[in-house]
Amino acid sequence: MILRRTCPVCKRHLPEDPAEADRVFPFCSQRCKQIDLFRWSEGKYAIIENIDPAVIELLKMQSDVPFDPDEDHPDADLYGAEGESFDSEGAV
C-alpha cells in the first residue's frame, strides 16, 4: 500500500494537485514552509556530526573570526592581545 506523503510541520497530507505540490514541496502550504524556515533561523534544528580535528584547524585558519592569540597558530603574530587584526604595518 502506498501512503500519501505528509507535511513535516503539521502532518497533513500534501496537496494532490501537482502544480500546488511542486510550489510548496515538501510542505502542505506556504505557511508550513515559512514555519520551517523560522525554526531553522531560530536554531531549533541542528545537523550534528563529529568533525575531524584537522578540519577544525583548517577552518580556524580560513575563518575571519578572531581566535585566542595564545594558541599556536601560523598567523598569531598578526593578532594583538585582544584578538585585534593588524595589517602588515602594525596598524589596526
Q: Which fold has domain 1-45?
A: Erythroid Transcription Factor GATA-1; Chain A (3.30.50)
- Give yes or no for residue 63 having a pLDDT over 80: no
The band of 73, judged by pLDDT with boundaries at 50, 70 and 90, is: low
CB 5 within 8 A of CB 13: yes
Question: Which pLDDT score, from 0 to 100, does residue 86 have?
Answer: 47
7-9-11 Cα angle (round to 5): 50
Q: Which of 45, 7, 3 is nearest to 27 (CA)?
A: 7
**pTM, whole model, 2 decimals?**
0.48
Start-end ranges of CATH 3.30.50.10 in the chain? Answer: 1-45
Burial-class residue 24 by CB neighbours within 10 Å (0-12, 13-18, 19+).
middle
Which of 67 and 49 is assigned the larger pLDDT?
Answer: 49
